[in-house]
Structure 1
């Protein structure tokens, strides 16, 4: 059914600074939070967004090749049946501009723009214990106050820019993919790119088609499988829409929430020939998460099964890449245990005459020169455009960048001195009435179903607290410690900690490697949330508001 709009707040005065809730960020999480809290619960809400447009990650990441690697039919909101059935898609994966168009449609459909302040970067927030209120500060020196603070800061939003000597002296264009200028075109240019993660591989494939030459500075070789991207027939779209009820029931009860049935068959239970057939079928079908989780049930947990999958992908690299030395440098040797990638012809790109590979673990970058990049072998790689596809300070980076203070002026960096932690990925002790969407130790899945799950839970908590006279909601330290232990236990049942990746913060120099996700799957996560609710919101302290706040 379509979610009913039970109550709507009047159009907000743009000069207002006091609200029931302030939402930070106008990406998928922030927009749905606004809809839930304002349209359904009738609260006065203001969204503060640092960008000059809505969309969050998809507003800033406009680099060539940017797209979702989640299939189109499940990379969308599911809360409104009419929205699901009315909005079409034409390709198996959505390009950045398609996603942004969808987001704009949602904003217009639910009349969200009137309560969104663009070009408003939040730089700090502090909890006032005498009034049970948050004071939220912006880069322009403005202050907003609210009872409930909802952070949709973005899981992958805080830019990671390495510190390489000479960067200030580069005479060409130096950009990060998370801040791609609208006027920048790589066609006919000499382009260098540092980084070969999800963003880097997407950019490499796209840029190679138009650049005069492309030099890829590879930090770590990647396991990439085909995406299987292409046009989707309207008849297939119509059939998928008919099955949306079953599809979304499966998604919410699944592990990775990517819209396919995850395998229940162990790799060791079939013959080597049968395993290769299964891998080949998955290779032909496309999608990284399907290759890891839809082929066999134990690729992420069993070293032998994992090595079988890795060996198959390595054999494909050897088959595809024509130059033996390039193939060697592109071939990973560590376990297949990072966020799985998929692309349209990644390895084939290195057969192009205008593409060259520099493996910087073997031949490190020494410095950026005015004309390009000098490596340890003394070669200066001249480029007109130098692109940093170096990813993000994921999960907690944007929180730590703020002057965020809870009880007694406690800074978030003090609270997270050992590691970023939470209760359920939603709240953290000593920061009352503050909620996080995709906070530390939230579920590792297709993000939109997790966003919806958490926004709905947070909205339910706020609705309950408002009904109790604007009660204060806070995680207990014991609950946070227990949830952290649960996430660590599950993570170490997998092979993911065996590799250095952003999933554990290993991409940031000096950052402690730690568990930052709940790897038990969305279905299990939703069961845990339901159990917490059924047991009186176990682990949450819900107290009456301070008298000053009531008065």
Structure 2
């Protein structure tokens, strides 16, 4: 066997395509392997009605090309899935990325070959590549959870998963529709489907906090203003805690005058989306401050719902605001005022089984023409561990992560040389504007791989001590927050049997970038790098 390519990237979403561009610019031959027949990652698969980003379009875009920034015209403040997918395809065409993307290529196994100091990557169809470096860009929200309701195979109606929505139009006019799940996907699709269906039942397990998207068309004036100061906007995003470009009020929410605080909350509610949680510095850090913010959000939700019983069921209870990622909605709560929409609380009346014609709860049997699963994902690790990754000594990553994911900087794992992650556990990922965090990691990886090449260092591995130190640091920062008070996908609670550990890095985009910079300045400490001659 001989080495075929410098770098193989798995995943042709926003992160994978950006990595391809960056590695190619640094002179590293690169191939991207993509399981689908189209590029786009999460924006290729999640085509459900109402799907849109919860980060403003101007910020949910690449910063690597000023020409791209100036030529692309966003139509809405929060772009819809079709528009984001058009953007991704435009980038692929504009920078000639498609020639290095292998579509319809599902990776079965990747195994470290010590003698070659390279990875052997095997696709399910029998094709094989040997690559010096392997980069996982498989996304955090790309493996839907399995559904396990009794009798679900008996159901004779149509079943659709939000994360695998059909490409052809789905006719819901006049249909009886069930949506199971009220996370971001369920919250976004509910108002749209309610306008089409004859009857819609929304099955809710946990009421979550949601804030309005405050979406609007992007005017020509706004477009010109943003593009005239795009560099400054990008730097604000990179130097903010969330990657959203704004800095919280440095005061505690508890010490601000009540009238002033109400005005600040009102302004944030009407403009900042899920950035509402950063109105004050300690909303995610202090229980008293969080309680004030939670009361405001619950009050705003309650104002939108007419029926008292439905209103009470829609109000979040028992966990602090923001410790589950808040949804960003466009009329979700008001939808329950419609005569053709009802809420089914499955904590109160659990689903017992599916029947041939619908769903039976402990209270009643309901018939549906269409059932839509919006039940979420195996987050952070699901897509990574679907591939059989075999490191040194034949140890798999599943074995190494049996007690929860461990990494150095959220980028590399001890025992798996030359394997790197973008947006992996231990990085800011879903606690941030993901595209900002991804570009920071990719820029850093470009520099690392170029440094290693220029110094004839072909083997890069995180040290055991550096990994242990980073895991301890991630846990230490998490304990400073309120995130650990809530069973959420941040701690693996979305999957039965999954290790209950806090997975993302809560130290913020700016803090994380500074740690990456310091690591590079110190000669990439925490990594053991060797050349063939040394071995």
What is aligned with 1:317? 301
- Determine if the alignment matches structure 1 residue 369 to structure 2 residue 385: no
What is aligned with 1:267? 253
What is aligned with 2:383? 398
What is aligned with 1:248? 234
Distance 1:44 1:276 in 2: 55
Distance 2:328 2:144 in 1: 22
Distance 1:353 1:410 in 2: 57
| Structure 1 segment 403-414 matched on structure 2, within 5 A | 403-414=388-399
What is aligned with 2:334? 348
1:337-377 Cα deviation digits (max 9, x unpaired): 21122111111011111111011111111111111111112
What is aligned with 1:422? 407
What is aligned with 2:185? 199
* Residues 188/545 of structure 1: CA separation in 2 closer, same or farther (3 Å cut): farther
What is aligned with 1:12? none
What is aligned with 1:137? 122
1:502-549 Cα deviation digits (max 9, x unpaired): 11111111212211111011100010001111111110110113799x
Distance 1:260 1:95 in 2: 23
Shift of residue 335, structure 1, vs aligned partner: 1.3
What is aligned with 2:483? 496
Is 103-112 or 338-347 further displaced after alignment?
Answer: 338-347
2:116 match: secondary structure:
coil
Distance 1:132 1:545 in 2: 9
Distance 2:113 2:517 in 1: 31
| TM-score, normalised via structure 1 length | 0.94
User: Does the 8 Å CA contact 1:131/1:547 hold for their aligned counterparts?
Assistant: no
Distance 1:317 1:180 in 2: 29
The match for 2:281 among 263, 279, 297 is 297
User: Does the 8 Å CA contact 2:207/2:313 hold for their aligned counterparts?
Assistant: yes
Distance 2:115 2:483 in 1: 44
1:420-462 Cα deviation digits (max 9, x unpaired): 1111111111000011001111112100111100111111111
User: Does the 8 Å CA contact 2:459/2:529 hold for their aligned counterparts?
Assistant: yes
- Determine if the alignment matches structure 1 residue 531 to structure 2 residue 515: no
User: Does the 8 Å CA contact 1:421/1:484 hold for their aligned counterparts?
Assistant: yes
Distance 1:431 1:205 in 2: 46
The runs of at least 4 consecutive aligned structure 1 residues that moved more than 4 Å come to: none
Count of aligned pairs: 529
What is aligned with 2:265? 279
Shift of residue 142, structure 1, vs aligned partner: 1.4
User: Does the 8 Å CA contact 1:121/1:139 hold for their aligned counterparts?
Assistant: yes
User: Does the 8 Å CA contact 1:130/1:546 hold for their aligned counterparts?
Assistant: no
Shift of residue 396, structure 1, vs aligned partner: 0.7
Two-structure CA RMSD over aligned residues (Å) = 1.5
Distance 1:381 1:278 in 2: 44
1:461-506 Cα deviation digits (max 9, x unpaired): 1111222335211101111111111111111111111112111111
Distance 1:478 1:381 in 2: 56
Distance 1:265 1:242 in 2: 32
| TM-score, normalised via structure 2 length | 0.97
1:207 match: secondary structure:
helix
Shift of residue 273, structure 1, vs aligned partner: 2.8
Distance 2:260 2:147 in 1: 44
User: Does the 8 Å CA contact 2:358/2:365 hold for their aligned counterparts?
Assistant: yes
2:376 match: secondary structure:
coil
- Determine if the alignment matches structure 1 residue 167 to structure 2 residue 152: yes
1:306-336 Cα deviation digits (max 9, x unpaired): 1111111111222211100000110111211
Shift of residue 264, structure 1, vs aligned partner: 1.6
* Residues 259/534 of structure 1: CA separation in 2 closer, same or farther (3 Å cut): same
User: Does the 8 Å CA contact 2:457/2:530 hold for their aligned counterparts?
Assistant: no
- Determine if the alignment matches structure 1 residue 217 to structure 2 residue 199: no
Distance 1:187 1:69 in 2: 27
- Determine if the alignment matches structure 1 residue 381 to structure 2 residue 366: yes
User: Does the 8 Å CA contact 2:12/2:32 hold for their aligned counterparts?
Assistant: yes
Structure 2: tracts of 5 or more residues without a match = none
What is aligned with 1:11? none
What is aligned with 1:518? 505
- Determine if the alignment matches structure 1 residue 447 to structure 2 residue 434: yes
User: Does the 8 Å CA contact 1:67/1:96 hold for their aligned counterparts?
Assistant: yes
Is 324-333 or 201-210 further displaced after alignment?
Answer: 201-210
The match for 1:32 among 10, 13, 18 is 18
User: Does the 8 Å CA contact 1:192/1:386 hold for their aligned counterparts?
Assistant: yes
What is aligned with 2:310? 326
Distance 2:193 2:129 in 1: 43
Distance 1:423 1:383 in 2: 48
Shift of residue 42, structure 1, vs aligned partner: 2.3
Structure 1: tracts of 5 or more residues without a match = 1-15
User: Does the 8 Å CA contact 2:208/2:326 hold for their aligned counterparts?
Assistant: no
1:136 match: secondary structure:
strand
- Determine if the alignment matches structure 1 residue 543 to structure 2 residue 530: yes
Distance 1:318 1:45 in 2: 52
Distance 2:339 2:331 in 1: 15
Distance 1:17 1:186 in 2: 51
Shift of residue 399, structure 1, vs aligned partner: 1.6
User: Does the 8 Å CA contact 2:155/2:356 hold for their aligned counterparts?
Assistant: yes
Shift of residue 382, structure 1, vs aligned partner: 1.1
